[in-house]
Amino acid sequence: MGVIPWVSWYALRRYSAYPLGSMAEAVTNSFFGVVRAGIVIALWHARPGLGGYDTADAVTYSFLTQSLIGPVQIFGGMELAQRIRSGDVAIDLHRPVNLQAWWLADDVGRAVSTLALRGLPPMLVGGLFFTMRLPGPGEAAAFTVSVALAVLLSFALRYLITLSQFWTHDERGVQAVTLVLSLFLSGMIVPLVAFPEPLGALARALPCSGLIQVPADVFLGRRAGGALLSGLAFQAGWAAALLAAGGLLTRAAERRLEAQGG
């Protein structure tokens, strides 16, 4: 397992190699944060207190979700998909490291790089032009833990989707459907607290809500005490279950590759 920290370190360096490209993406995220903030201000003025949020909460939520797009890779897949498609995954399976552990380490490096280069600018832009709600030290620490769990959960979901390519031969159809669902069910488009019931309750019970909605609520101070612990446990529980499923699917994929390739 000693190689795993090195995988994360080199992934961090690789994904940080083009800071200007990352900054361009940060500018784009910030621009859409401003657009979304204008929309939610109009919506919350029309329906004050929607979902228990005030206008400052809703604006903060808009910029915070733009900051989290990169770390939780809400729009993206995995480089592993290309390696499965090309057959290079056979090399990965012969490494003295579990396939899932290797790519998790790579994804951690990617997430740290993306958070550093793309996460802060949207929040700075939001604070510059709008009234936003900022967390206290305790809430900031809890938010850090929640974001780490969101990254883990995101990887677990994307890894399962990517491995489906061993059976479908092309994961892009599954990826497209999952993308549409995750955009709505994570809270990326609209906070899940604004969903009508029972749709809101169902969305909050699904793992996608742990990608955006739970970290955002922690940041906004809407989870404290038992609610905070239950939110973090929700993320950790889904991540553990999906990682376990990923481990089982990895072994099944290895057997399939051996059966097809000899």
pLDDT value at residue 147? 95
What does the pLDDT look like over 63-98, one tens digit per residue? 999 999 988 988 777 888 888 887 788 887 777 788
93 CB neighbour count, 10 Å cutoff: 14
Alpha carbon distance 165, 205 (integer Å): 27
Report yes or no: 118 and 70 within 8 Å, Cβ to Cβ: yes
Mean residue pLDDT of the chain comes to 87
Alpha carbon distance 193, 58 (integer Å): 11
Q: Is 0.85 topped by the overall pTM? A: yes
- Residue that wins the pLDDT comparison between 244 and 53: 244
Is the preceding omega at residue 198 within 30 degrees of 0, hence cis?
Answer: yes
What does the pLDDT look like over 123-148, one tens digit per residue? 999 989 998 988 888 899 999 999 99
Give, rounded to a whole angstrom, the gap between the first and last alpha carbons of the chain. Answer: 28
Q: What is the DSSP string of 61-95?
A: HHHHHHHHTTTTTTT---HHHHHHHHTTHHHHHTS
Alpha carbon distance 205, 211 (integer Å): 12
Largest Cα span, the chain: 64
- Residue that wins the pLDDT comparison between 75 and 41: 41
- On the question of pLDDT at 119 being above 50, the answer is yes
- Residue that wins the pLDDT comparison between 166 and 105: 105
Confidence of residue 259 (pLDDT cuts 50, 70, 90): very low
Alpha carbon distance 223, 83 (integer Å): 40
Helix then strand count (H, E) for the chain reads: 13, 0
What does the pLDDT look like over 150-207, one tens digit per residue? 999 999 999 998 888 888 776 677 777 888 888 888 988 888 888 888 888 999 999 9
pLDDT value at residue 258? 52
Q: What is the DSSP string of 139-176?
A: HHHHHHHHHHHHHHHHHHHHHHHHHTHHHHS-THHHHH
Report yes or no: 69 and 63 within 8 Å, Cβ to Cβ: no
Torsion of CA 191, 61, 177, 90, to 10 degrees: -140
Give the list of residues 6+ apart from residue 27 with CB closer than 8 angstroms, or none.
121
> Computed over its alpha carbons, how large is the radius of gyration of the chain?
19
Confidence of residue 257 (pLDDT cuts 50, 70, 90): low
Confidence of residue 59 (pLDDT cuts 50, 70, 90): very high
- On the question of pLDDT at 39 being above 50, the answer is yes
Alpha carbon distance 178, 154 (integer Å): 12
Alpha carbon distance 233, 4 (integer Å): 25
Q: What is the DSSP string of 3-34?
A: HHHHHHHHHHHHHTS-HHHHHHHHHHHHHHHH
pLDDT value at residue 261? 47
